Amino acid sequence: MADFHQTGIVSTLHRLRKRPIEDLESEIFEFSETSPIALLLPSLFSELRGPALPGIVEELKQVPYLDTILVPIGRASAAEWEEAKNFFSVLPQRTVLLWVDGPRMLELLDDFKARGLPMGEPGKGRAVWTCLGYLLAENRCRTIALHDADIVTYSRELLARLVYPVASPKVGYDFCKGYYARITDRMHGRATRLLVFPFLRALEIVLGNHPYVRYLGSFRYPLAGEFALDADLANVLRIPCNWGLEVGVLSEVYRNRSIRRICQAEIHDAYEHKHQVVSEGDATTGLHRMAIDIVSHLLRTLSQTGIVFFPGQLHTLYGVYRRTAEDMIATYYSDAAIDGLQYDRHAEEAIVNVFAAAIVTASERFLADPIGEPDLANWIRVTAAMPDVSDRLIEIARADGGMLT
């Protein structure tokens, strides 16, 4: 049972009781009749054969209020694309698939590059960005929800609680971030617990009361992959295409909306999905790469607010982070002990060492190149550069056979 305590400056919508799902869905269905709702479900082809996605599809079959389910399929051959279409054809809702690595989509991306639009690298960020463009091109759904395709403990209550704050005219938020406890017989969420929280606290100590840092620190799970937003907000977001996606979206929401229009909602009580490898010796993959991308994004975003970083200050930030993370490990150990959870304190300390090295790498890269790779352009700019982009996106889905229903 959650408490009702409000922390930070972002409104927190708690899961104070287990509301019957039929009651919640019935209310959302009424909202959807005048304000249609879409679900964006980013998927790699490999996830079709994983332990989570078949169960997610079975749950989604029972959701009555979705107008559209949009699935970008990544890393798929032509044969695998056909298999993906067959896999998702069982959904009763209007379902559209986008082959984000297909030849027609790649040709469109090349046209974007030719017009000077940054395209970044293939991955979840670019897939999400492309899908937002597609939904904006169709102009039929007002609320857009997104969640990952690897949630082993998925239930349709997660989606309902995520959608409700944005879809409901009674509540009326423009953006909702999902949160939950990443716990089985031990604590998970290592990047959030051991990197983001202590690093934000270190920034607070070094920089003082900065509004952006305070905003990010208000989120209970800033790296959660689940959020819902209004279509008008989707039109103005610039999206990173690296591991900084989740923090990048929060940053863009902060730039474009009043705090009063932003909330977080507790959407699940037993959340489990795949875990990234730490990758101690390889900074190009796993949590090591994720940490570099996240810290790089935070430093660059803060510099854009007028903060001037210099080497000595970044060295101080590194030292404060290490001490703060070590103190938090002691707290996590105590928390695990009282609840009888497994807790490998040595392994947690080792992960902090990896994250500390990632902070050094990110700091060096920031000093060498304070601007970094540009985010993907928002769809207002894309439409200005290519006025026929909406028609082309819809035609690509049709030509690839992605309009299943």
- In tens, the pLDDT along 327-386 reads 999 999 999 999 999 999 999 999 999 999 999 999 999 999 998 888 999 999 999 999
**Beta-sheet pairing, 143-146 with 227-230:** antiparallel
If 0-12 CB within 10 Å is exposed, 13-18 middle and 19+ buried, where does residue 383 land? middle
Per the listing, tokens 């210099």 go with 310
Check residue 269 and give its pLDDT.
76
Per-residue b or e along 313-344, where b marks 16 or more CB atoms closer than 10 Å to that residue's CB:
ebeebbebbbebbeebbeebeeebeeeeeebe
Task: Note whether 366 and 315 are within 8 A (CB).
Answer: no
With 70 as the cut, is the pLDDT of residue 275 above it? Answer: no
Q: Where are the alpha helices (DSSP H) in 42-77?
A: 53-60
Check residue 272 and give its pLDDT.
63
CA angle 392, 393, 396 (to 5 degrees): 85
Check residue 274 and give its pLDDT.
63
E strand segments, 53-130: 66-74, 94-99
Average pLDDT for 224-234 = 96
**Beta-sheet pairing, 37-40 with 143-146:** parallel
Give the Cα separation of 179 and 218 in Å (integer): 12
* Mean of pLDDT over the chain: 94
With 90 as the cut, is the pLDDT of residue 244 above it? Answer: no
Check residue 265 and give its pLDDT.
97
Average pLDDT for 44-66 = 96
Torsion angle of the four alpha carbons 73, 40, 386, 237, in this order, in degrees rounded to the nearest 10: -130
How many other C-beta atoms are found inside a 10 Å radius of the C-beta of residue 291? 29
CA angle 173, 7, 181 (to 5 degrees): 85
Check residue 284 and give its pLDDT.
81
Check residue 270 and give its pLDDT.
66
Give the Cα separation of 270 and 282 in Å (integer): 31
User: DSSP code of 193?
Assistant: I
- All structural domains of the chain, each given as residue ranges with its CATH number in brackets, are 11-399 (3.90.550.10)
CA angle 173, 158, 187 (to 5 degrees): 110
Per the listing, tokens 């297909």 go with 102
- Range with the poorest average pLDDT among 39-43, 152-156, 183-187, 328-332: 183-187
Q: Where are the alpha helices (DSSP H) in 21-77?
A: 21-34, 53-60
Check residue 209 and give its pLDDT.
93
With 70 as the cut, is the pLDDT of residue 195 above it? Answer: yes
Give the Cα separation of 196 and 395 in Å (integer): 41
